[in-house]
Amino acid sequence: MTTKEIILDKLRSNKPQFSKLGVREIGLFGTYLHNEHTIASDIDLLIDFEPEI
């Protein structure tokens, strides 16, 4: 399993908790998405929230 797959698996397994916080979708981008990360890389996430009502 690649590091990217591990990150995506962790995000998927926590989806119910994220939904409770109003998270609609989470996307991975940057070096981890393209398997170009180094020891100094951070994990880049784009988080889309449900609109406030």
Residue pLDDT, tens place only, 11-44: 999 999 999 999 999 999 999 999 999 999 999 9
Q: Three-state DSSP class for 25?
A: strand
**Overall size of the chain counted in residues:** 53
Ranges of each domain in the chain: 3-49
pTM for this prediction: 0.83
Enter the tokens of residue 13: 């397994």
How far from the centroid of its chain's Cα atoms is residue 50's Cα?
A: 16
pLDDT band at 1 (very low <50, low <70, confident <90, very high): confident
Distance CA 23, CA 17 (A): 9
Query: Hey, what's the torsion of the CAs at 20, 23, 27, 32, to 10 degrees?
Result: -50
The answer on pLDDT for 8 being more than 90 is yes
Look at residue 52 in the predicted model and tell me its pLDDT. 82
In which band, very low, low, confident or very high, does the pLDDT at 3 lie, cut at 50, 70 and 90?
very high
